């Protein structure tokens, strides 16, 4: 379902940050921010915390336990091989393989989790608010509310803080 969004386009990074801080102070919810490069200030200003690190830790824990169980099963239970009288369940021999396979597990599971969460897959058509955000512009997107006063206030704030242009567009975003 498409919604009408208010889009503000900025030339400068500091102008975008000023607008973000002012809009947050006014209590207006920001839907999305698009920048040509990663900006940590924007991530902090949006205030949205991710649970991705917890998921990666969980993948690593499950991966480590699974790899250790697999190595123990194959080396001790299923096919024990006696190498010069050494014990078959020597933990130090499992360490390197466990570390490498844990890293592989975390990487692949995180990649699939991120792709599924962001709905990224081959052939997906994405409605980009402003194509210039991939080049040199900073774009901030808001849901258009029903209140005319808040839309006028938002337009005034964006222009006051240095928006090059502010316009409305029908978009279908993830949120």
Work out whether the CA dihedral 47, 32, 35, 149 comes out positive or negative: negative
Q: Say yes or no: 82 and 43 in one domain.
A: no
Number of domains the chain contains: 2
Do 39 and 70 lie in one domain? The reply is no
Sheet of 138-143: strand order equals 32-34, 138-143, 3-10, 163-171
Give, in order, the Cα–Cα distances in Å from 24 to each of 109, 156, 159, 172.
34, 14, 16, 23
Residue 59 has a pLDDT of 98
Beta strands in the chain (DSSP E): 3-10, 32-34, 138-143, 163-171
CATH number at residue 131: 3.30.70.260
Stated pTM of the model: 0.67
**Do 15 and 30 share a structural domain?**
yes
- Do residue 34 and residue 77 come from a single domain? no
Instruction: Domain of residue 108: give its range.
Output: 52-117
3-class DSSP assignment, residue 138: strand
Residue 8: which region, alpha, beta or left (left: phi > 0; alpha: psi -120 to 50)?
beta
Domain final residue, candidates 117, 134, 149:
117
Residue 44's contacts (CB-CB under 8 Å, 6 or more residues apart) are: none
| Residues 140 and 106 occupy one common structural domain | no
Give me the phi and psi of 29, to 5 degrees please: -80, 130
Do 56 and 43 lie in a common domain? no
Instruction: Return phi, psi of residue 127, to 5°.
Output: -90, 95
Tens of each residue's pLDDT in the chain, 175 residues: 577 888 999 999 999 999 999 988 888 888 889 999 988 888 888 877 788 999 999 999 999 999 999 999 998 888 888 777 777 778 888 899 999 999 999 999 999 999 888 878 777 777 778 888 888 899 999 888 756 667 888 888 898 988 898 888 887 755 4
How many angstroms from the chain centroid is the CA of residue 123? 20
Say how many C-beta atoms besides its own lie within 10 A of residue 23's C-beta.
Answer: 21
Point out the domain boundary residue: 74, 90, 117: 117
Could you give the CA distance from residue 121 to residue 157 in angstroms, rounded to a whole number? 36
């Amino acid at each position: 379902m498409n919604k009408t969004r208010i889009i503000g386009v900025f030339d400068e990074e500091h102008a975008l940050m000023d607008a973000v801080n002012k809009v947050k102070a006014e209590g207006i919810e920001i839907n999305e921010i698009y920048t040509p490069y990663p900006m940590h200030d924007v991530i902090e200003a949006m205030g949205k915390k991710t649970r991705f690190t917890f998921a990666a830790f969980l993948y690593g824990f499950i991966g480590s336990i699974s790899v250790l169980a697999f190595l123990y099963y194959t080396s001790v239970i299923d096919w024990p091989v006696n190498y010069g009288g050494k014990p078959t369940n020597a933990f130090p021999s499992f360490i390197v393989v466990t570390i490498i396979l844990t890293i592989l597990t975390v990487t692949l599971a995180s990649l699939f989790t991120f792709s599924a969460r962001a709905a990224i897959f081959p052939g997906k058509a994405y409605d980009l608010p402003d194509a210039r955000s991939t080049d040199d512009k900073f774009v901030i997107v808001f849901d258009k509310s029903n209140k005319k006063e808040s839309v006028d206030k938002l337009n005034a704030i964006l222009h006051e803080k240095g928006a090059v242009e502010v316009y409305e567009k029908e978009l279908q975003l993830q949120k």
